[in-house]
Chains A and B, each alone.
Chain A
């Protein structure tokens, strides 16, 4: 039952995390030049009385601390407010609308990064020598790549030069897809729409490859280090000394190296969402990342605050889940 207590404590810790992030975002948004009214109305001349009227209707004439606490009270009630720019649009429903696209991209990207990471890191640990060196170089290069640059390169090669894959969007607009869950791969299977499935997959390849390659560098290095350490460890020697096959020794070593690798998966999740934002803008992917960027441009305070709070909660929950997974892999860890 101590696991339950642990989950309760970790859940409670989400509150200060959210509070700090909300405060930072609140301040940063107000420090940025411009305000939602001007950003929405553009460069046209607006009579000051009219400007004042809109501002007071949106609550922007209130003192800052009132705005701060009013929105905070909303967060605690689970109400992320309404957009300041697109009047009448609930921030929460916008987020829910956009989030499946981000999650689909993030999951595909982490799948790619984990696959590449295990293959490259595993080869490095098993083969050693020149293979090891090559894989390490790959790890460093992948880790330091800038997502928009890699995205542009892949677009240039596969979309423009080779014409194999689309350069942006989630699905060919000519293919009709009935949305059920918002995850296009899932929806196309549920509704039995093979054209939509293929089109979604085609659109998913380059963005998830971009995100996956950049995030794989860290996996390459950590898989290599921990797997080769486990393969050389005393218990692996003991397994070999008992006459086990190298394949069995490998499986046990892999399982032992999984504990630090799962830690990295938890840490990577925050990077994954950050990377998703850059990937989404590069590939005009209609997810939460491009939503956030778009609303920052509009100085849509409530939408940005809401999206950041949402990200914070998701990242906290995922890192908690990862900690619970440790306990399943490693019997030494008990909460």
Chain B
């Protein structure tokens, strides 16, 4: 593993809504190493997208970073001013989103949207030069350069996501944040987009921080997986270890809930609902849904137990033998 590129410490992001304070991210620690592909897995409402957006300093009101730091190359993104953020956004940390169509301006050609950012970050001195860079970026992601003159509505879903990736890549960022990049696409296109990201990572030395609800996808494509539950990361580890010997009961249940195309077995869902983040449960947040919950899980925050081969799990039972 390379050196630490992004270091998140004790991050807390709360949404101050009329119906109460939503603790979307509540004490997250995470290191992202240069050159790796790390994926955050969690259910909807686990705070994973909020965490991803915070890396770009894009937490919108009523959300606010309440505590903690997001260190990227010596800059604390959680406290950076707008001008400092603008120099990092896009240029050093790129992002692609879940619904590629919505994140493109419907009224402008995709080429001009890419070229505009290229100019903004002074990666080209003229519009023509920026346009050429936009076309090169499109070619790189497998979209014909002639498509630069297309409007978003003239492209398919997969092409739109490729265009979004091109828009990110054109600015030559070190880190790419991918927030559910393939959730809106079918599996065939999903596989192609994943291949493309892996290819870019190798060619460009990119670091990828992906967010998804799909643990199977996460373990397949990434080096490391972080499992998020109710605003906290409950387990981190190498993706192989996470699926083969999960340490946290939640991770285990997530892995078991993945349907298998080859083996006909009943799909096991996780009983209960994710907690209301306005009133998260005391102690371990998973205890109301956990089949193994002990008495102390109800009152005490479980310790972070290091796991062999790197990573940790936040559970009283982690590292012990237990039946599942």
Question: Which residues in B have their C-beta under 8 angstroms from that of A331?
Answer: 106-107, 151, 153
Which residue of B has the minimal Cβ distance to A329?
B107
Asked if residues A234 and B99 are in contact (CB atoms below 8 Å), the reply is yes
A248 to B108, CA, bound (A): 13
Asked if residues B105 and A235 are in contact (CB atoms below 8 Å), the reply is yes
B13 to chain A, nearest CB (A): 16
B106-120 toward A: CB 8 Å interface, digit per residue (1/0)?
A: 111000000011001
Point out the residue from A232, A243, A255, A332 that lies within 8 Å of B86, measured CB to CB.
Answer: A243
A123 to chain B, nearest CB (A): 18
Q: Which of B24-32, B70-78, B89-97, B292-300 contacts A (4 or more CB under 8 A)?
A: B89-97
Asked if residues A234 and B86 are in contact (CB atoms below 8 Å), the reply is no
Question: Which residues in B have their C-beta under 8 angstroms from that of A149?
Answer: none
Asked if residues A243 and B153 are in contact (CB atoms below 8 Å), the reply is no
A242 to B58, CA, bound (A): 11
Asked if residues B108 and A252 are in contact (CB atoms below 8 Å), the reply is yes
Chain B CB within 8 A of A30 CB: no
Chain A CB within 8 A of B56 CB: yes
Chain B CB within 8 A of A284 CB: no
Asked if residues A244 and B106 are in contact (CB atoms below 8 Å), the reply is no
Question: Which residues in A have their C-beta under 8 angstroms from that of B99?
Answer: 234
Asked if residues B102 and A234 are in contact (CB atoms below 8 Å), the reply is yes
Asked if residues B107 and A255 are in contact (CB atoms below 8 Å), the reply is yes
Chain B CB within 8 A of A241 CB: yes
Chain B CB within 8 A of A127 CB: no
Question: Which residues in B have their C-beta under 8 angstroms from that of A159?
Answer: none
With contacts A256-B105, A332-B151 taken as known, whether A243 is within 8 angstroms of B95 at the C-beta atoms is: no
Question: Which residues in A have their C-beta under 8 angstroms from that of B103?
Answer: 234-235, 237-238
Chain B CB within 8 A of A330 CB: yes
A246 to B58, CA, bound (A): 13
Point out the residue from A232, A243, A256 that lies within 8 Å of B106, measured CB to CB.
Answer: A256
A229-254 toward B: CB 8 Å interface, digit per residue (1/0)?
A: 00011110111111111101000100
Asked if residues A245 and B120 are in contact (CB atoms below 8 Å), the reply is yes
8 Å CB contacts to A: which residues of B113-159?
116-117, 120-121, 151, 153
A129 to chain B, nearest CB (A): 11
Asked if residues A233 and B102 are in contact (CB atoms below 8 Å), the reply is yes
Which residue of B has the minimal Cβ distance to A230?
B105
A85-120 toward B: CB 8 Å interface, digit per residue (1/0)?
A: 000000000000000000000000000000000000
Point out the residue from A235, A239, A243, A255 that lies within 8 Å of B102, measured CB to CB.
Answer: A235
With contacts A234-B99, A331-B151 taken as known, whether A242 is within 8 angstroms of B106 at the C-beta atoms is: no
A240 to B171, CA, bound (A): 14
Which residue of B has the minimal Cβ distance to A330?
B107
A239 to B168, CA, bound (A): 11
Asked if residues A244 and B116 are in contact (CB atoms below 8 Å), the reply is yes
With contacts A234-B99, A241-B95, A332-B151 taken as known, whether A248 is within 8 angstroms of B120 at the C-beta atoms is: yes
Asked if residues B104 and A332 are in contact (CB atoms below 8 Å), the reply is no
A246-284 toward B: CB 8 Å interface, digit per residue (1/0)?
A: 101000100110000000000000000000000000000
A216-237 toward B: CB 8 Å interface, digit per residue (1/0)?
A: 0000000000000000111101
Question: Which residues in B have their C-beta under 8 angstroms from that of A330?
Answer: 106-107
8 Å CB contacts to A: which residues of B34-90?
56, 58, 60, 82, 85-90
Chain A CB within 8 A of B208 CB: no
With contacts A241-B90, A332-B151 taken as known, whether A235 is within 8 angstroms of B117 at the C-beta atoms is: no
Asked if residues B97 and A242 are in contact (CB atoms below 8 Å), the reply is no
Determine which residue in B60, B89, B167, B168 has the highest number of CB atoms from chain A within 10 A of its CB, and name it: B89
A243 to B93, CA, bound (A): 10
Asked if residues A238 and B121 are in contact (CB atoms below 8 Å), the reply is no
Point out the residue from A233, A240, A252 that lies within 8 Å of B89, measured CB to CB.
Answer: A240
Asked if residues A243 and B91 are in contact (CB atoms below 8 Å), the reply is yes
Question: Which residues in A have their C-beta under 8 angstroms from that of B107?
Answer: 252, 255-256, 329-331
Question: Which residues in B have their C-beta under 8 angstroms from that of A332?
Answer: 106, 151, 153
A256 to B103, CA, bound (A): 13
Question: Which residues in A have their C-beta under 8 angstroms from that of B117?
Answer: 239, 242-244
Question: Which residues in B have their C-beta under 8 angstroms from that of A234?
Answer: 97, 99, 102-103
Asked if residues A242 and B105 are in contact (CB atoms below 8 Å), the reply is no
A237 to B177, CA, bound (A): 14
Question: Which residues in B have their C-beta under 8 angstroms from that of A240?
Answer: 58, 89
A134-156 toward B: CB 8 Å interface, digit per residue (1/0)?
A: 00000000000000000000000
Asked if residues A243 and B89 are in contact (CB atoms below 8 Å), the reply is yes
Which residue of B has the minimal Cβ distance to A332?
B153
Point out the residue from B60, B87, B151, B164 that lies within 8 Å of A243, measured CB to CB.
Answer: B87
Asked if residues A243 and B90 are in contact (CB atoms below 8 Å), the reply is yes
A294-319 toward B: CB 8 Å interface, digit per residue (1/0)?
A: 00000000000000000000000000
- Contacts A240-B89, A243-B171 known; 13 new A-B pairs at CB < 8 A: A237-B97, A238-B95, A241-B94, A242-B120, A243-B85, A243-B89, A244-B117, A244-B120, A248-B120, A255-B107, A256-B106, A330-B107, A332-B153
Enumerate 23 A-B pairs (CB-CB under 8 Å) in ascending A order.
A234-B99, A234-B102, A235-B104, A235-B105, A235-B106, A237-B58, A238-B95, A238-B103, A241-B56, A242-B89, A242-B120, A243-B85, A243-B89, A243-B121, A244-B90, A244-B116, A248-B120, A252-B107, A256-B106, A329-B107, A330-B106, A330-B107, A331-B153
Query: A residues engaging B (CB < 8 A)?
Result: 232-235, 237-246, 248, 252, 255-256, 329-332
Which 5 residue pairs are nearest across A and B when measured between Cβ atoms? A242-B90, A243-B90, A234-B102, A243-B89, A238-B103
